[in-house]
Amino acid sequence: AQSVTQLGSHVSVSEGALVLLRCNYSSSVPPYLFWYVQYPNQGLQLLLKYTTGATLVKGINGFEAEFKKSETSFHLTKPSAHMSDAAEYFCAVRANTGNQFYFGTGTSLTVIP
């Protein structure tokens, strides 16, 4: 079975500061990992994904995440927050033999000017 834990339902950072959103997963088989962003009243948009290969993956809008198997983590980072980054962020896991995506409960990011 797969599951995702996102520590911190709300994160606030100052504009220009580092963004760190945490995601830990549980999976009995090698997972595929995803980060999605959701702006108010919109659907989910893919930020980045890890399937195989390089464990540091880069996504859109300057975000990146690193797959750490030993820590079962896939934390999302961005060096410098922008006001437009304010949104809800969801981490998701999918088994490499699976169908459905399992989502975390989300982290709401607030950027303070």
Partner 1 sequence: GAGVSQTPSNKVTEKGKYVELRCDPISGHTALYWYRQSLGQGPEFLIYFQGTGAADDSGLPNDRFFAVRPEGSVSTLKIQRTERGDSAVYLCASSLFGSNTEAFFGQGTRLTVV
Chain contacts with partner 1 (rule: CB under 8 A) = 4, 9, 32, 34, 36, 41-46, 49, 51-52, 90, 94-106
| Residue with Cβ nearer partner 1 (75 or 94) | 94
User: Least distance to partner 1 from the beta carbon of 29, Å?
Assistant: 10
What's the per-residue H, E or C state across 23-58? CEEEECCCEEEEEEEECCCCCEEEEEEECCCCCEEE
The enclosing H or E element of 75 equals strand 73-78
User: Least distance to partner 1 from the beta carbon of 16, Å?
Assistant: 28
CA dihedral for 106, 89, 36, 33, sign (positive or negative): negative
User: Least distance to partner 1 from the beta carbon of 6, Å?
Assistant: 8
| Residue with Cβ nearer partner 1 (61 or 80) | 61
Comparing C-alpha atoms, which of 80, 81, 104, 102 is closest to residue 8? 104
| Residue with Cβ nearer partner 1 (36 or 63) | 36
